[in-house]
Structure 1
């Protein structure tokens, strides 16, 4: 059976709701991340100084043909606190990448990322029929690498001199993946972690 290509969908958990990203999320996203260099340190953009900068970032997600972007909505406030995406899906080969993720610092070390990834992984493996989910991150971004490992993903290797960072230096890209047969154990661990608070 061939997997399905991701389409706009809303995924709801206890702590977060993932809904299709739209221009109406710009004000919330600016409020949680403006002028915070650490949030954008390893991304392709500089920290937004003005709401129009966030609007340009959102427009970039929305016009990327290989991207299915989600606004991450905190259940307690109903406001967008970040963005995460499916990228570069290949339904025939049954793989998809999760990436383009960032959150306002106020939700770091909270249940937000764990539940967002649980929702995305559940949808990818159980509803879209994917056999493999991938992540890529900057080799210097240890926080991201550790978060990916905590999901249960396996390190696959490093693609050297993969792309230029905004500051002109060259990024090596670290690759991780999770396979469908690894998903049940990973799902149990993630569910238990969320239940434990």
Structure 2
């Protein structure tokens, strides 16, 4: 059985670094969430500033159980601009989900976010040999769905009444994937997007 990891994995590109999530990042990440009021979005979960340390602890506990590989996203200046993870890790198939992601508005739809996903996909397909990488989001989160589709992922379907959100509403989950067969074309597309001037 293959093992996806290591849990303290780092990934580095020209525009972004994904470093192991650490309690040391809590203050900077909380400040970014507060400045962007990201925790007020009802259709996704971004930890509130006062809950950032607890969310980091939760993700690190999942990491220690082999269920998640969490990252802090750093921009070219080294500033923390978000969080992302490998989750729902299936070591046997192998297959992973890229999720539990949030990123500050100024880093969305640009080289930081695009290259972060490109690095994670490359690790999953070219190093781990995954058969597929999955993405999930709220059916009504059109911004997230468009971002996932811009990566080249295809919609697999909608899981109706899938999750209860913190505000009590029920989430229908849109499930997308990129397969190993898709990956060469998706990689070429992402490389072209990253190379384009903004």
TM over 0.5: yes
In the alignment, what sits opposite 2:5?
6
Deviation at residue 28 of structure 1 after TM alignment:
1.6
Correspondence list, 1:117-128, <5 A:
117-128=117-128
Are 2:55 and 1:57 equivalent residues in the alignment?
yes
Dislocated runs of 4+, deviation >6 Å: none
| Counterpart Cα distance in 2 of 1:81 and 1:154 | 27
In the alignment, what sits opposite 1:16?
16
Are 2:62 and 1:83 equivalent residues in the alignment?
no
Deviation at residue 144 of structure 1 after TM alignment:
0.6
Given that 2:98 and 2:135 are in contact with CA atoms closer than 8 Å, whether structure 1 keeps it comes out as yes
Q: How well do the aligned residues superpose, as a CA RMSD in angstroms?
A: 1.6
Given that 1:35 and 1:47 are in contact with CA atoms closer than 8 Å, whether structure 2 keeps it comes out as no
| Counterpart Cα distance in 2 of 1:104 and 1:40 | 13
In the alignment, what sits opposite 1:132?
132
Equivalences, count: 192
Deviation at residue 105 of structure 1 after TM alignment:
2.1
| Greater mean alpha carbon deviation, residues 99-108 or residues 166-175 | 99-108
Correspondence list, 1:1-197, <5 A:
3-7=2-6, 8-34=8-34, 36-38=36-38, 41=41, 42-45=43-46, 47-48=48-49, 50=50, 53-64=51-62, 65=65, 66-75=67-76, 77-197=77-197
| Counterpart Cα distance in 2 of 1:134 and 1:163 | 17
Gapped regions of structure 1 (runs ≥ 5): none
